[in-house]
Structures are given as C-alpha cells and as structure tokens.
Amino acid sequence: MAYQTVTHTSYGQRVGNSFKGILTGIVLFIGGTVLLWWNEGRAVKTDKMLNQAEELTVPMDNISKVDPAFEGKLVYANGMTETTDSLSDSQFPVGGIAVQLGREVEYYQYEEEKHEETKDKLGGGQETITTYTYKTDWVGSPINSSNFADPQYQKSNFTLAQFEDEVHYAELVKFGAYRLNESQIRSFTGNESATIDAESDFFKTLNDNVIRTAPGAAPVAPATAAQPTTTTDSTAATTAAAKDYEYVHIQGNVVYIGKNPSSPQVGDVRITFNKVMPQKVSLIAKVMGDTFTQYKTDYGTFSTIRMGEVGVDEIYQQEHDNNTMMTWLLRLLGVLCVIGGLKGIFGILETLAKVVPFIANIIGFGVGLICTVVGLVWSLIVIALAWIFYRPILGIAILVIAGGLIYYFSTKGKKKKAEQAAAEAAAAPAAPVAGAAPAAPAQPQAPADDFPKV
C-alpha cells in the first residue's frame, strides 16, 4: 500500500528558493555554453586525429615474429590471443586459465520509489503530496532502509552476507610473438561461465556462518571461513553440478545465499562468476618492442582493439560513428543546460506571480517558451562560432541558420501585433464629428405587402 506525506511551502519560501535558483541557472547557462564550445572542438580534433591515423596505418600481416621494420609505426593486425595465466578469486574457490575472471554480487532488497505532485494555492503557497511505494528487486549494493519514509519499511533491509564485486586480469596475454598491454587486456569482452569447485569445504563453512548470522539465530561468533582452493579447468574436483546446503546453493556459475533460489527473499545474495577466454582480436596500435602503445598524432593519441576479425576500414568507420554519436549527445546535453539555466534565471517571474496561480501559469508558459527559443538560438550561435573557429565554412552556415530563426520569430511577432491592431481598429465604432447634428433614428418600414386601407 502506498504511503503519502504532505508538505506545505509558503510564498516567501518559494521566492527565496527562486533567488537560489538564479545562481544555479547562471552556473547551468555558463556550463552549457562552455560544454557546447568545447564539444565542437573535441569533435573536430577527434575527426582529424582519426583521418590522420587512418592514412598512417600500415597492415602487419605476420604476427608470428617481432619485426623491427614495424617499430614505432601505427599498425593494423588481427590474430589469436593466448595466455597461460591461471586466475583465482580472492575468496571463493573459483579459478582457471583466463584473460579475465570476474565476480558480480547482487542483493535482494526493498527499493523506495517516490512520486511528487504539487498544487499551487491562492496566495502563493504550494502543497506537495509525495507518494512512496516499495518493491523488491536485485540491486548491486545493499540499500539502507533506515531512512525510508514509511515506518513499516524502515530497517526492513538486511543481507545474509556481503561481498564486493571483483575482476582479475591476466598479466601476460600473447598476440603471436607480441604481448598485449594492460589497457588492451582490460578491453576484452565476451563473458563465459566460470567453473566453481562446489565440493570445496569453503561452502560448508560459509553456510555455517550464514546460519549463525541469519535473523532469529543465536548470536554466535562466526567461524573462520576456509581458505579458497585455486582450481583449474582440468582439476578433477571441479564440477558445475548443483550442490545445496541449507542457505548456500550452487548451480553452474552462480552461488545463491538464501533459503530458496526460486523464491527470493529480502536479504538473499546472488553471486555470479564469469570469465573471458583468449580469442581472436583485431587491433590498431603503435608497435613498441614486443608490445603495443598509443600512437601520437598531431591531434591526439589513438589505439583500439576489437574482439574478432574486424577490417581496418570498418574499425575506423566505427570510431567515426562513435565520435558523431558522442558529439550529438554532448550537444543535446549542452542545449538542455543552456535552456535549463535560462529557466532558472527567469523562473522567479513565475514565482512572483504565484499569488494568483492562473496568472502564474500563463507567465510560466511564456517564460518557458521564450527561454526555450532563446536557448536554442544561443546554442546555435555558440556552435556556429565554435565551427567558425575550427571549420569556418560550416560555422558560417550554422550562423546563418541562427540568424534566420531570429528574423523569423521577430517578424512573426511584429506581423501578429499589426494584425491584432488592425482587427481592433475595424471593430471599434466611428467617433462622432464635432458640431454635427446627431443622426435621426431610423424609422421602421412597413412590410412590402402592407397597403393603406381606403
């Protein structure tokens, strides 16, 4: 059942908050303007960097031996990777040969969601009705329920156990005769299920510890957990079969801590183990001895790696597409900051009129519309000036568009005012001429078929 609270804000408090909003609006407006300018420069520099890198890239067809002829050059190569590094989890008996080994921990918790509905009151005050609802879901970290609004749900969250997310990386990953650098190793994707040693005594100890700390259990000091046993895929004790204890259940690559995995309860914990195995990759990077590093162009540094066999042209096209997408996302963010900043600065006009909510709504609509139009025009001008600075031809074109918008809205406003004035003049009665006799009232006329009787 939903829980509601009602708060009241006086007219004076609202005006005070609006003055604070002016400062926030100024910060947003300046921040959005700077972001728009910086983003255009970033986009141009990235585009030029990619174009220059693409021209300098040379194919390295043979990675089976270190070739001094490629030293210092930006190369494109693809091939199979391999590693002999055996990774192990720091707490659980999970391990094996892999490029990456990861642990993801989730907790079944109550989540608080709130929805606010505001109503303006005559005189300038405001009433806010906040509705709180609660649901259970898997989340990445425990939620502190002590501050929940509904007393019924306060302190309702707990966990049967707590662990941290964790990722381990191989130190040596070979790429033919070369070795990948740390950044390239961390860029690997493609999770597979890691194997858990379900027969390890660690899980029995973990189960005993959970029983001792579970709600309703007697307060007994927890036993020391058994040290995890490093396993490999070839170890006979390693198994992916299910194994159940009272509170600990193992199925495949998942360790579930709770009474019943098919019916999760608040406090349950779900731990998933994944690994990334050696695979074929395609990379573009600078050769430095028997490894790779970033290549420095006139506009920035560049290197990249892709999983699978991806052509050099496709890689650069993807990089250009990513740059375009990032540019538009940052443009949108900058425009929203500019518009939001203007609304914050001039929002006080609406607040001052809140004494009469109906009038305030009209003023608010007008302020919002004007701020949106001005914000869009300002953003276009900033983008145009940035492009004039970085790319003059396109910048001038954008500036012309912004000028056209200004001219369109200004002429449209003048035309509307002129039409309104003409309509009012036509509807007004003619003024009497000074000194002229008043016009005699019109006499009623008999109908055409009415004749005087003889």
Tell me how far apart the 2 most distant CA atoms of the chain are, in Å: 136
Which of 256, 277, 298 lies at the terminal end of a domain, its last residue?
277
Residue located via tokens 């001005």: 374
Do residues 323 and 254 share a domain?
A: no
pLDDT recorded at residue 1: 62
> Does some domain include residue 445?
no
Pairing verdict, β 192-193 and 126-139: unpaired
Angstrom distance (rounded) from CA 117 to CA 119: 7
Do residues 262 and 403 share a domain?
A: no
> Does some domain include residue 75?
no
Angstrom distance (rounded) from CA 260 to CA 99: 33
> Does some domain include residue 390?
yes
Angstrom distance (rounded) from CA 219 to CA 212: 7
pLDDT recorded at residue 110: 96
Q: Give this prediction's pTM.
A: 0.76
Do residues 135 and 221 share a domain?
A: yes
End-to-end alpha-carbon separation of the chain, Å? 93
> Does some domain include residue 392?
yes
> Does some domain include residue 175?
yes
Run of H or E including 6:
strand 3-9
Do residues 150 and 266 share a domain?
A: yes
Which range of residues forms the domain containing residue 212?
84-119+131-277
> Does some domain include residue 284?
no
> Does some domain include residue 443?
no
What are the residues facing 205 on neighbouring strands?
none
Do residues 415 and 328 share a domain?
A: yes
The answer to whether 185 touches 169, Cβ cutoff 8 Å, is yes
Angstrom distance (rounded) from CA 105 to CA 141: 8
Do residues 272 and 185 share a domain?
A: yes
Which of 171, 159, 130 lies closest to 7, judged by CA? 130
Do residues 40 and 145 share a domain?
A: no
pLDDT recorded at residue 385: 87
Q: How far is CA 355 from CA 17, 20, 86, 359, 379, in A?
A: 16, 19, 71, 8, 34
Do residues 29 and 111 share a domain?
A: no
Do residues 339 and 242 share a domain?
A: no
**Average pLDDT per block of 10 residues along the chain, 454 residues long:** 83 82 92 95 94 96 95 97 96 96 97 90 84 96 94 94 96 97 96 94 94 63 39 39 86 95 95 97 97 96 96 97 97 96 88 78 88 93 85 70 73 71 68 53 50 42
Do residues 108 and 245 share a domain?
A: yes
pLDDT recorded at residue 440: 53
> Does some domain include residue 66?
no
Do residues 106 and 246 share a domain?
A: yes
The answer to whether 293 touches 284, Cβ cutoff 8 Å, is no
Angstrom distance (rounded) from CA 53 to CA 62: 21
Number of domains forming the structure of the chain: 2
Do residues 271 and 335 share a domain?
A: no
